[in-house]
């Protein structure tokens, strides 16, 4: 009775020393007479922010609190933010905007009673009523359920956050930022809970059934780091914690690891389905029913005692989860813990990084290939994270990356970076569990090896090497006859012409039959030549009145299709077209124009919104130094999509397809085996078309009509043709043709119909199904050369990715920093692909 009688006065006295609302408030709210809308007045909050909703919410204790709701149209989850002490919503508005954009979430922040413009006085019961009222507002006003909600509590805000999290079993996740064990434990170090203590989070954390992310600074002088460590150990479903070295109490948002790690947590929570969450809840309830009775009181006894380091152990950063089966500590050599985490500066002589340790999910940096990488042999969330000076190519990083849209560090100097900054849609960023590193995976994409559009209704994708048909480039919504014909293309929705009589023809959209571009001396019936073709410069009749004509650059007459008022969708303009109103002009009225690389306009696909635009083209969002490109040879054009900020281009691209230092690209300045040069005015091929590669030294275009046997001069280097025509691209009946199955000069087997390479070509690109790829006798689907300084393996290869010193194989027999999958932390034997041989 004595303790109970004195509990309330002491609790109220403790509350006076626990809450420090800012005075005066940094904002004011006012309710408009017309419509009853609540508006905010502040010097730091813009009055015209359309994404901001201001609410006055009434709590069950009679107070009215102010809540800010910031809406992100591309968000899937919502963050309910409980802020720390001595701040209000006016000071947190800019932080909310950054979190909304960088994390792609909706966010609601509220002021406690007595804070900001909220009424009442702050106390522990009032803060509990405040967060319950904010959650009820999210349910009733915005239709947000607990399955789509993540609770965020900072410092004092961890108290109401855990109070609500313990009552919501289907909550998506919880984030604790500089959280406290209890109010009394902040002031002094005690091992018991007093009756007058406030915010007893140490008792509530064990009731939370959702994943818990703990963030804490190691140099926090207000709330000791041990508070966050203890909460992380006591949580039932802990997520990988974030201990920010040197971080204080109020500056953790300034560290790059903060945004990156929180974004990683939110991505993991988005991937957790409701069915998985319910399954875990049922399992936890079943374990609770089977608990052991002790002394007449029903209690829960874990399988093994909670593991901590031994007193003599100097390892202060090795911890073990409650489900750990270690009898003594996580620092034993024979530890069988499956969820131990060991941080880089673990000075314990017998840590979980020993060779005999069976920890399969350790964060261990002792034997990492470089000091800047944090490797996970069999990680649960991602594959590898690299630090700022990432030297290994087995990571995906982005130079000068400041946002959370890439798995990287901000100062990564390597060129192997692929990132999409500020991507507005959630279905255009690579997922953490993407099995193929060199692609941009889409959640709705039918195959993980394709690069799909945001709303891809069918396989209209640009396929990667493992695509069943790598020699086809799918056209979005290609109706059929409006395509460019390719040799032996098996599918009608690819870059094919179903009704085109020959594989060397480029038909017009609505081409009735013979109006095709072909060789002038075509001997067989497979070409669509006109019998009365007047000259070598034109394929059509001199006075062709219809839109089916295709004029060459030397066509002097006004009978071209490119008239000043071009209204048709079948025009093909050349850079030197004599007409002043060609479709190649920047203000082209024709949406379906085809312009060459130096044309100032766009290269548009027929009836398609995707186009090849200049960096300054309206609607494009290209960043100047994007290393992963898909652009024209030696030109400044880039490949981007209007109204879509994800772009794959660089202004000064040398023609490389994916990586600047990759020899397996489609176009390169010194790449042998191309069919036309960049300045060839008569070329009618597309930049990404596999059947038309560009060659810098070629003096004659592929479509020039004066060559009777082949398409280039005899002195043209790098072509693949029959013996009589050295260095040329031959006709379809040539035994050494580019696409012939029985190519005697190609190093692939006769059954490999999709290879287009020469035996000594340094930029060869082989088909995934090719069993006789010239780089390896039994290499399936790879594209690397024997002495490539950064070789790359296919997705199923268990060896290393792009080894810096890889001489003759995917990885060396002894793992000297190679990305392997050993049982322990020491990589004594590299588990590489057995089909490959080491040199």
Please state whether beta strands 611-613 and 638-640 pair in parallel, antiparallel, or not at all (unpaired): antiparallel
Look at residue 593 and give its three-state secondary structure: coil
Answer for the pair 732, 742: CB distance below 8 angstroms, yes or no: no
Residues linked to residue 603 through DSSP beta bridges, in sequence order: 612
Spot the catalytic one: 83, 227, 249, 261: 249
| Structure tokens, 532 | 């009365």
CA distance linking residue 72 with residue 108, whole number of Å: 11
Gap between the Cα atoms of 239 and 163, Å rounded: 19
What's the DSSP call for residue 51?
A: T
Name the active-site residue from 155, 352, 645, 825: 155
Q: If you search the block for the tokens 């953490």, which residue do you land on?
A: 432
Question: Is the Cβ–Cβ distance between 579 and 562 less than 8 Å?
Answer: yes
Cβ distance 439 to 794 under 8 Å? no
Bridge partner list, 153: 82, 176
Angstrom CA distances, 129 to 121, 145, 171, stand at: 12, 18, 18
123 is catalytic: no
Q: How far apart are CA 439 and CA 630, in angstroms?
A: 13
Kindly write down the DSSP assignment for every residue of 461-482, as one continuous string.
-EE-TTSS-TT--PPTT--SSS
| Sole residue written with tokens 């799909």 | 452
Question: How crowded is the C-beta side of 753, counted as CA atoms within 13 Å?
Answer: 9
Please state, as a whole number, how many other Cβ atoms lie within 10 Å of the Cβ of residue 208.
27
Residue 374 · residue 385 · CB < 8 Å: yes
- Computed over its alpha carbons, how large is the radius of gyration of the chain? 33
d(CA 596, CA 40): 54
Q: β-strand 462-463 against 450-451: which pairing, if any?
A: antiparallel
Chain centre distance of CA 755? 30
Give the distance from CA 45 to its chain's centroid.
32
DSSP string, 284-332: HHHHHHTPPEETTEE----SSPPP---TT---SSEE--TT---SS-TTS
Distance CA 721, CA 714 (A): 11
φ and ψ at residue 159, rounded to 5 degrees:
-65, -60
* Torsion angles phi and psi, residue 39, rounded to 5: -120, 155
Beta strands in 340-449 (DSSP E): 341-342, 373-375, 384-386
Contact between 175 and 151 under an 8 Å Cβ cutoff? The reply is yes
| β-pair type (149-154, 106-110) | unpaired
Q: How many Å apart are CA 204 and CA 260, to the nearest integer?
A: 28
Q: Which among 667, 663, 666, 629 is positioned nearest to 647, based on CA atoms?
A: 629
Is 427 among the residues known to form the active site? no
CA 730 – CA 719 distance, rounded (Å): 9
Question: What's the CA gap between 766 and 21, in Å, rounded?
Answer: 67
Distance CA 573, CA 593 (A): 7
CA gap 197, 184 in Å, rounded: 6
Per-residue DSSP letters for 422-444?
Answer: T-SSGGGS--TT-S-TTS---TT
Joined tokens for residue 653: 């691209």
For residue 265, give both structure tokens: 């947590």
In angstroms, the first-to-last Cα distance of the chain is 83
Q: Which of 111, 130, 220, 515 is catalytic?
A: 220
The answer to whether residue 220 is catalytic is: yes
Q: Which residues are catalytic?
A: 155, 220, 249
């Amino acid at each position: 009775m004595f303790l109970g009688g004195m509990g309330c006065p002491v609790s109220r006295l403790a509350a006076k020393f626990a809450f420090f609302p800012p005075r005066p408030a940094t904002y004011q709210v006012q309710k408009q007479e017309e419509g009853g809308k609540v508006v905010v007045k502040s010097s730091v909050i813009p009055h015209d922010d359309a994404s901001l909703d201001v609410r006055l919410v009434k709590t069950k204790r009679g107070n009215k609190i102010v809540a800010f709701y910031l809406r992100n149209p591309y968000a899937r989850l919502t963050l309910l933010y409980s802020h720390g002490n001595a701040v209000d919503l006016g000071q947190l508005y800019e932080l909310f905007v950054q979190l909304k954009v960088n994390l792609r979430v909706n966010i609601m922040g509220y002021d406690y009673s007595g804070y900001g413009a909220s009424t009442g006085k702050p106390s522990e019961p009032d803060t509990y009523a405040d967060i319950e009222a904010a959650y009820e507002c999210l349910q009733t006003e915005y239709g947000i359920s607990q399955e789509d909600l993540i609770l965020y509590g900072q410092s004092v805000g961890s108290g109401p956050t855990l109070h609500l999290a313990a009552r919501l079993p289907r909550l998506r996740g919880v984030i604790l930022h500089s959280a406290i064990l209890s109010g009394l434990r902040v002031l002094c170090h005690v091992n018991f809970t007093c009756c007058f203590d406030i915010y007893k989070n140490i008792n509530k954390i064990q009731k939370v059934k959702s994943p818990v992310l703990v963030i804490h600074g190691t140099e926090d002088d207000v709330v000791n780091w041990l508070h966050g460590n203890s909460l992380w150990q006591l949580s039932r479903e802990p997520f990988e914690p974030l201990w920010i070295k040197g971080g204080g109490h109020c500056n953790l948002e300034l560290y790059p690891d903060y945004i990156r790690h929180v974004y990683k947590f939110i991505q993991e929570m988005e991937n957790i389905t409701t069915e998985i969450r319910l399954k875990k809840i049922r399992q936890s309830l079943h374990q609770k029913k089977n608990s052991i009775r002790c002394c007449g009181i029903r209690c829960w006894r874990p399988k093994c005692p909670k593991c901590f380091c031994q007193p003599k152990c100097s390892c202060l950063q090795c911890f073990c989860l409650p489900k750990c089966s270690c009898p003594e500590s996580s620092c034993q050599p024979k530890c069988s813990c499956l969820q131990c985490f060991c941080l880089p500066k673990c000075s314990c002589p017998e840590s979980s990084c020993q060779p005999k340790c069976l920890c399969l999910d350790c964060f261990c940096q002792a034997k990492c290939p470089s000091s800047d990488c944090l490797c996970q042999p069999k990680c649960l969330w991602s594959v590898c994270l690299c630090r700022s000076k990432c030297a290994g190519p087995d990571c995906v990083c982005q130079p000068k990356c400041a946002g959370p849209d890439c798995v990287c560090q901000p100062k990564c100097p390597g060129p192997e970076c692929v990132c999409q900054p500020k991507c507005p849609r959630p279905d255009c960023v690579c997922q953490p569990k993407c099995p193929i590193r060199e692609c941009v995976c889409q959640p709705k994409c039918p195959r993980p090896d394709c690069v799909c559009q945001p709303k891809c209704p069918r396989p209209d994708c640009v396929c990667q090497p493992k695509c069943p048909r790598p020699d086809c480039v799918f056209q979005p919504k290609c109706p059929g006859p409006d395509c460019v014909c390719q040799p032996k293309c098996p599918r009608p929705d690819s870059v094919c012409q179903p009704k085109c009589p020959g594989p060397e023809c480029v038909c017009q959209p609505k081409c009735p039959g013979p109006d095709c571009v072909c060789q002038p001396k075509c001997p067989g019936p497979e070409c669509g030549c006109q019998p009365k073709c007047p000259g070598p410069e034109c394929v059509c009749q001199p006075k062709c009145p219809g839109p089916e004509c295709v004029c060459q650059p030397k066509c002097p007459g006004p009978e071209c299709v490119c008239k000043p008022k071009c209204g048709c969708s079948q025009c093909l303009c050349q850079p030197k077209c004599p007409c002043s109103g060609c479709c190649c002009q920047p203000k082209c009225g024709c949406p379906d124009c085809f312009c060459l690389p130096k044309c100032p306009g766009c290269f548009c696909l027929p009836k398609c919104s995707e186009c090849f635009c200049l960096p300054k083209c309206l609607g494009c969002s290209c960043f100047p130094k994007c290393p992963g490109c898909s652009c024209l040879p030696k030109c400044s054009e880039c490949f981007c999509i209007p109204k879509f900020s994800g772009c794959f281009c660089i202004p000064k691209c040398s023609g490389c397809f994916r990586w600047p230092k990759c020899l397996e690209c489609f176009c390169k300045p010194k790449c042998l085996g191309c069919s036309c040069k960049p300045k060839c005015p008569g070329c009618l091929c597309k930049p990404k078309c596999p059947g038309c590669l560009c060659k810098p030294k070629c003096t004659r275009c592929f479509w020039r009509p004066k060559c009777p046997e082949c398409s280039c001069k005899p002195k043209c280097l790098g072509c693949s043709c029959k013996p009589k025509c050295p260095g040329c691209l031959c006709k379809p009946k040539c035994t050494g043709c580019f696409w012939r199955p029985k190519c005697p000069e190609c190093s692939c087997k006769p059954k490999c119909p999709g290879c287009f390479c020469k035996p000594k070509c340094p930029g060869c690109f082989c088909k995934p199904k090719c069993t006789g790829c010239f780089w390896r006798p039994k290499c399936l689907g790879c594209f690397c050369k024997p002495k490539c300084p950064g070789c790359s393996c296919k997705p199923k290869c268990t060896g290393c990715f792009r080894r810096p010193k890889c001489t003759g194989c995917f990885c060396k027999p002894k793992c000297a920093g190679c990305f392997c999958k050993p049982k322990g932390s020491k990589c004594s034997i590299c588990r590489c692909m057995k089909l490959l041989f080491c040199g």
